[in-house]
Each structure stands twice: as C-alpha cells, then as structure tokens.
Amino acid sequence: MPRGKYERKKTVTESNEVFSGSEKVIDIAKVAREGAPDIEVASEDVLRNTEKMDRQRFMNELLEVHIHDPMGDQDSKFCFLGVNGDCLWLRRGETYQIPRKHVEILARAKAGRVVQTRHIAPDGSQTYIDKEVLNLQYPFSVVSDPSGSKGAVWLREILKQAA
C-alpha cells in the first residue's frame, strides 16, 4: 500500500454545477393591464362536457358490492385493491360502498388453474388433455349501481375479458 498524501480526484458531478437555476420575474400588474395573449381560457361548458371528465365521473361512482366469503382455508380473508395509489383492504364476506374503479380491479383479479381430463385413444393408449380454467380471485356481487344498465353492461364487458 503506498504511503504518503492521497488526493481524491473529483469524479462526481454536482447537481448545482449542471443546473444553476433560473429566475424569471413576472410583473403581475403588467399582466393584469396588458393581459396574457398566449393563454386561452376554456369556457365552462367545454370543461364540463369533456369525454374524459365523464369517464372519470363514471369510474368514481360508488357501487354497493358484497365480496363473498373465502371458499377454503387457503384463500385470503382480505382482498387488496389498489388503483393509482388509492388502496383499500377489504374483509371478505362483507358489503361495502366502493368506487367503480376498485370494482374493476375485483373483476379483473382472476386465478388460473389447470384441469386434466383423461383421454383414451381407440388403440388403448392413454393421454391427458390439459385445460386452463380461470375463476375470479375474489367473487363478488353488485348490490346496487347508480348507473343502472350502463353499469351492468360495463361490468359484463370487464368480466368477459381474459386475464
């Protein structure tokens, strides 16, 4: 090991050396006098009638949902539903009012298993045919839906989709 003075060479780039920041002074009085021509203000009607807002409103509607009891001892007594950081832990076997976005997670949570059926060929040889079966991880029932038939159609479409 060498003896003597050891100097560490600078290899790390400091963030304040790369970005020194910038300041922009805005004169509010000038903006109030002259206006801001590059900012377009949307009318209230445009903001209220957008398709995205309607979808958001639909997905945040509260549905009354009953989550069925666990089928066996290995099944979890709770189910976790998380949508973009909005998380719920729900005890199975109870009824809750939860947003539709969480009901979608319930409908998409599926567990797969393989079922084998024995097949005997005409020559006497035996084989097994594998078939994957998907079931809901947390079976549930919708008790009430404020959207009525629109909500029922939406739920049927979600349940039809494969995992």
pLDDT of 25 higher than 70: no
Return the higher-pLDDT residue of 87 and 29: 87
pLDDT of 106 higher than 70: yes
Q: How confident is the model at residue 13 (pLDDT cuts 50, 70, 90)?
A: very low
pLDDT at 14: 46
pLDDT at 134: 83
Q: How confident is the model at residue 18 (pLDDT cuts 50, 70, 90)?
A: very low
pLDDT of 11 higher than 80: no
β-bridge pairing 78-83 and 62-67: unpaired
β-bridge pairing 140-144 and 62-67: antiparallel
pTM (2 decimals)?
0.62
Give the burial class of 103: count Cβ atoms within 10 A of its Cβ; 0-12 exposed, 13-18 middle, 19 or more buried.
buried
3-state secondary structure of 22: coil
> Using one digit for the tens of pLDDT, what is the confidence trace for 108-132?
998 888 888 899 989 989 999 888 8
Instruction: Find the mean pLDDT for residues 62-76.
Output: 90
Rounded to whole angstroms, the Cα distance separating 65 from 140 reads: 7
CA atoms within 13 A on the CB side of 8: 3
CA–centroid distance for 120 within its chain: 45
